[in-house]
Amino acid sequence: MNKDELLERLTKDILAYVMHGTFSERELARSIKPEQLDERFEEYELLLDLHFILQDDVVEFVRELPERLRSIRTETRTTSRTRRGTVDGRINWSGTIKKRYAEHPRDSSIFVCDNRSENYDIPENVVLKKLISVVHRAVRESEEYLRRDYDWVSETWRGNEDLIDELQRIVERNVHVRRIREPDVYEPTERMLTTAAHSRQEVYRNAASLLRARRRLFRGEADEIHRLLEETAITPDDENTLFELYVLFRFVATLEDLRETQPQFRTMATDRQEVAKFDGEKEIVLYHDNSARDRNLSFVAVPDDKKGVHSRSDKVQLVAQEIASNYFGTDYRNQTGRPDVIVLEIISETDDEHEYLITEVKNSTNEETIRRGIKETLEYLAFLRVNEEFVFGREDSTVFGSGWNGMLIVQDLDEDTASIGEQSGREIAILQASELEEELETILREIV
């Protein structure tokens, strides 16, 4: 499955789940957020705004803004005021005579005075002020990263280090910008945007165009979602995350078909990586990118001492762990890595019976990478514990489960490989990306 096919499929999944408000936007943001960014950018809207201000069109708009603000449009507004005994502005004699005749007969000290002033609060300027505010807020939140030497800012804000300071000066000191009122929550309206879009001045046309593009991004329109994923929220070469998300949504969609019901999607918390839960006689919980700590699941690699016999390598690992724990006063455990997807099924709460499917995802066709993925998947199965007790290897089961408890998903290979049927009886199953749509259901039926 090439990148274009992956993006097309994932765009549809995000439109189906995230944009309909069922799947957590926070989980999506957390998945595509670069590692350098802190937890603030797990807020979906903030991550979108960071993506927005890194666009060339936005950077160019800010670069040209100081010059363009010199020709900002205003309207002349005339305000009439009634004065007694003084004149403040130009005397409106017609208004003065009417005022004296109607309200103050025979009082020659009454004058109606006109004062002319510039009105900055025209629709075009409200549009402009809104865009400046959006960009300024996003830059302020992201400033510490925009000033660093990351590849994803080197050609934008980093390429003009004074651009951030220039924007700050515009917001704080530019007399024209300060005189424009702050837009209301619902502004700019579509009519305001249309007025700005048809302005003779380029600064207003650009402002309207950029705000509309931002709205499309926040509405989750297909083209904007596709573009966001194509650039992977700043890190264009990281296809691994996109592949993992594709696999995650395939799990959700397949489980929906099997259970003929929609899951409950959960908001992600720091130590609670539950993505979705399917209720029923058999409860199924789907986790992503972490073990289910709230379910007391762990992957602790400790030598099995049931028979009191260890290999030399086991003894080195065990003694080294004990010495380090004693020296530092810390209970060290040798943890395995974390599988990318865990499906947990609770068959019966009363009988306390559980079943698991552990899935590792490798966005690769490299033979060594796939071999490493096989080893890692087997490790997850062998060291999977619930409440400090091994899940597999007790009673009549092997340490790897039934053969349907572990799965490795890889990219499409050119050469012929064993089918799911031909893999029957092995400790884990291996699926390629193009096989996921049809074969995932076959594997899930064995444990659901």
- Which 3 state secondary structure label does DSSP give 276? strand
**How far is 360 from 410, CA to CA, in rounded Å?**
9
Structure tokens given for 307: 């028979």
- Angle (CA) 359-374-379 rounded to 5° is 75
pLDDT recorded at residue 321 = 65
**How far is 253 from 204, CA to CA, in rounded Å?**
44
| Nearest alpha-carbon partner for 391 in 375, 406, 376 | 406
Averaged pLDDT, 265-269: 52
Q: Which residue reads 């009191």 in tokens?
A: 308
> What H or E segment, with its residue span, contains residue 92?
none
- Angle (CA) 21-248-341 rounded to 5° is 125
Q: Which residue reads 């927005």 in tokens?
A: 52
Averaged pLDDT, 361-376: 88
Q: What is the CA radius of gyration of the chain?
A: 32
> What H or E segment, with its residue span, contains residue 91?
strand 90-91
pLDDT recorded at residue 211 = 96
- Amino acid type, 323: I
> Which backbone phi and psi does 61 adopt, to 5 degrees?
-60, -45
Are the C-beta atoms of 77 and 162 separated by less than 8 Å? no
Are the C-beta atoms of 432 and 417 separated by less than 8 Å? yes
Q: Could you tell me the CA-to-CA distances from 12 to 1, 49, 194, 411 in Å, in that order?
A: 16, 22, 30, 20
- pLDDT per residue as tens digits for the range 38-69: 888 888 888 889 888 888 889 899 989 999 99
**How far is 157 from 146, CA to CA, in rounded Å?**
6
pTM attached to this predicted model: 0.70
Are the C-beta atoms of 429 and 239 separated by less than 8 Å? no
- pLDDT per residue as tens digits for the range 200-239: 999 999 999 999 999 998 888 888 888 877 765 555 456 7
Are the C-beta atoms of 399 and 381 separated by less than 8 Å? yes
**How far is 11 from 38, CA to CA, in rounded Å?**
25
Q: Which residues contact 211 (CB under 8 A, 6 or more apart)?
A: 127, 130, 131, 134, 188, 193
Strands annotated E in 199-306 = 264-265, 274-278, 283-288, 297-299
Domain boundaries, the chain: 36-70+123-234, 75-119, 240-300+335-445
pLDDT recorded at residue 228 = 75
| Nearest alpha-carbon partner for 420 in 439, 437, 433, 401 | 439
Average pLDDT, the chain: 80
Are the C-beta atoms of 448 and 258 separated by less than 8 Å? yes
- pLDDT per residue as tens digits for the range 301-351: 555 555 445 555 555 556 666 656 665 566 665 555 566 677 766 655 556
- pLDDT per residue as tens digits for the range 101-143: 999 888 989 999 988 878 888 999 999 999 999 999 999 998 8
Strands annotated E in 228-340 = 264-265, 274-278, 283-288, 297-299
Long-range contacts of 413-418 (CB under 8 A, 24+ apart): 413/365, 414/365
Q: Which residue reads 């017609």 in tokens?
A: 94
308/447: higher pLDDT:
447
Q: Could you tell me the CA-to-CA distances from 362 to 147, 341, 372 in Å, in that order?
A: 34, 12, 9
What's the number of CA atoms in the CB half-sphere (13 Å) around residue 71? Answer: 10
Are the C-beta atoms of 217 and 54 separated by less than 8 Å? no
Region for residue 408 given its phi and psi (left: phi exceeds 0; alpha: psi -120 to 50; beta: otherwise): beta
Q: Which residue reads 């515009």 in tokens?
A: 170
145/155: higher pLDDT:
145
